[in-house]
A and B are shown apart, each in its own frame.
Chain A
Amino acid sequence: MTQRGENPRGKKPVRKDDAGDPSNGGKSEDSGSIGSSGGANSGGGFNGIATAEWLTNAGDSNDVVLSSRVRLARNLAGHTFVHRANKEDRERALQACRDWILAANVCDRIMWVDLHESPAIERNLLVERHLISKQHAKGKAATSGGVATPAAEEPRAVAVSIPDERLSIMVNEEDHIRVQMLRAGLSLSDCWRDASAIDDKLEAGLDYAFTKKLGYLTACPTNVGTGMRMSVMLHLPALKVTGEIEKVKRAATDMNLAVRGFYGEGSDAVGDLYQISNQTTLGKPEGAVLADLQDSIIPEVIQYERHARNTLLSKRRSALEDQVFRALGALTHARLIAADESMQLLSLVRLGVVLGLIPELSVQTVNMLFLMVQPAHLQRVLGKEMDQEHRRIGRAAMIRERLTK
């Protein structure tokens, strides 16, 4: 992988292989095991694995809201959309985007990853960190014309701001450019402000496909207009226990909002984590979508969840404590555990921590485990590739260690 662009402030864009901040390595929870893996087959992109800002559990309403996200879909004028483009076309678009993204000074330090040249585990790490979509990790073959290229080798990339990982820019996903801002807590307005500022910088050097009538033109007509999707990741265990989550889902659907799982479109709500996002992108300005979600709809869901938690605490305390501590018991004593089961148990433990039932644990530890139990992160932390059976053993050991130290 070669780096051609120069960051105008004089800082070289960071290759993924040396993205880990060495000064951070010693402090990182995972430095020991990762250091020993030394990039054997997985590179070293996330040596400072704990640095992503959204994992810190900072931000507003962090008892319920894990993170907020804004993404903008943009396309280059004069290019066919990505799925129609052959390898050369995609390379051309990729190069134009790379040159400008690295020149436009979008953030202090930026890491550029050419996904078509990255090993699968590296791509999976990015998916688990919510920096790229599953589809972007897999790649998508051209729908017609040209010489067929294996999907995974189709030219595509992602740029990530480091070490905070708030910004990611996917290139050649469904649209040429997808700008994403991800922050801890309920922070949609900050995400929108930052994403829009980066969008301005990108637009200064790239000709976007835009018409006054239909706004930003996107490959899929469901994104046309603002090209903007705002979403909030919510932890709703109490609404799940009381069954009221179904009401939330129905209400959201009625308001043209989508309710999705932890990993977006088509994923289940493992760990009682739900993403609520806008569906409509045409005819409603960004500010109005923002105001609806940030000031009215999401706060209502938060209140609803808090109310359900308090009801459980006051009326069914023993049953609640029983569930929470059984979950903690299973996590601290299991010898074999799958990712989904650990997510489900961690969800109950997180509920217990937030309600003050387990004072010796921090919410941040639990949030971090949500990520660390995922297959790619687990293998990164343990420093080797493993089959499913060994992953279950390694996962159980890692969880035990982190919850009991």
Chain B
Amino acid sequence: MKCDTCDKEATVHDTILRDGAWVEVHCCEACAAKQGLSGPGPTLNELLTNFVLPQVAGEKPRPKATKPKSPTCTNCGFTFEQFRQAGLLGCPQCYATFESLLLPLLERAHEGAAQHIGKVPRRLAETGPAKSELEDARILAAKREQVERERVIRRQLEDAVKSEQYELAAKLRDQLQQLSQSSSASRTH
């Protein structure tokens, strides 16, 4: 049987009240959706999850039949279902997002453990570092600042070249050169 409105095979059959009279309609799925006709009835699973189970649990039935959604990381949009398939998480935040779901998995993989014991990054370490370490940290911090400054200038330089601001580009290149010279004054060549 063909659809009432187009040439496709009709898969939705319904009897509706139109202008005070019951009429039979036969539509393909696309036209049915346009006219607001119900598609093939909900599956048993959907019935259970949307109507029966919530009522058992004392909840109101959800207004629309939607598929139960896999938990999703708000930071990167990765779903727990995707993790199951890939075996890898999407971002560091996923560990917090899926904490309760991951816990049994972690315990199985790590002999029942669920708490990290071991090395902690220095910036989070509770005991103060030794004096020589403080000195190292100071040098490294200065270096880090410089690397970041270089990176910013380099990006500005790329933008300047892209937008054909060559005077600005030349200035930035000089700055970059100065920075790298001051950082390696002891260089031998």
Give min CB distance, A308 to chain B, whole Å.
30
The verdict on B110 contacting chain A, using a C-beta distance below 8 Å, is yes
Q: Which of A4, A203, A221, A287 contacts B109 (CB 8 A)?
A: A221
Instruction: Give Cα A196 to B90, complex, Å.
Output: 26
A8 adjacent to B183 (CB under 8 Å): yes
Knowing A6-B184, A282-B106, A284-B117, say if A99 contacts B151 (CB, 8 Å): yes
The verdict on B92 contacting chain A, using a C-beta distance below 8 Å, is yes
Q: Which of B90, B117, B143, B183 contacts A205 (CB 8 A)?
A: B143
Give min CB distance, A92 to chain B, whole Å.
10
Closest B residue by C-beta to A83: B88
Instruction: Give Cα A297 to B9, complex, Å.
Output: 70
Instruction: Give Cα A203 to B124, complex, Å.
Output: 11
Size of the A side of the interface (Cβ < 8 Å), in residues, is: 57
The verdict on A63 contacting chain B, using a C-beta distance below 8 Å, is no
Closest A residue by C-beta to B90: A84
The B-contacting residues of A in range 180-206, CB under 8 angstroms, are 196, 199-201, 203-205
Knowing A81-B89, A200-B122, say if A100 contacts B106 (CB, 8 Å): no
Knowing A200-B122, A204-B122, A280-B110, say if A219 contacts B89 (CB, 8 Å): yes
Knowing A10-B187, A99-B150, say if A224 contacts B95 (CB, 8 Å): yes
A284 adjacent to B113 (CB under 8 Å): yes
A10 adjacent to B116 (CB under 8 Å): no
- Complex contacts, A83 vs chain B, CB 8 Å: 86, 88
- Complex contacts, B180 vs chain A, CB 8 Å: 6
Q: Looking at B76, B122, B147, which has the most chain A CB atoms within 10 Å of its CB?
A: B147
Size of the B side of the interface (Cβ < 8 Å), in residues, is: 49
B92 adjacent to A75 (CB under 8 Å): yes
The verdict on B78 contacting chain A, using a C-beta distance below 8 Å, is yes
The verdict on A174 contacting chain B, using a C-beta distance below 8 Å, is yes
A80 adjacent to B91 (CB under 8 Å): yes
- Complex contacts, B96 vs chain A, CB 8 Å: 211
The verdict on B100 contacting chain A, using a C-beta distance below 8 Å, is no
Closest B residue by C-beta to A287: B118
Instruction: Give Cα A10 to B185, complex, Å.
Output: 8
Q: Which of B90, B124, B141 contacts A210 (CB 8 A)?
A: B124
Instruction: Give Cα A287 to B137, complex, Å.
Output: 24
- Complex contacts, A99 vs chain B, CB 8 Å: 147, 150-151
Closest A residue by C-beta to B154: A4
The 6 closest A-B pairs by CB, nearest first: A283-B113, A215-B116, A209-B92, A10-B187, A204-B140, A282-B110
List 12 A–B pairs whose Cβ atoms lie within 8 Å, in order of A's numbering. Answer: A6-B184, A10-B188, A10-B189, A83-B86, A99-B151, A215-B116, A216-B119, A279-B109, A283-B112, A283-B113, A283-B117, A284-B118
The residues of B with any CB-CB pair to A shorter than 8 Å are 76, 78, 82, 86-92, 95-96, 102, 105-106, 109-124, 136-137, 140-141, 143-144, 146-147, 150-151, 154, 180, 183-184, 186-189
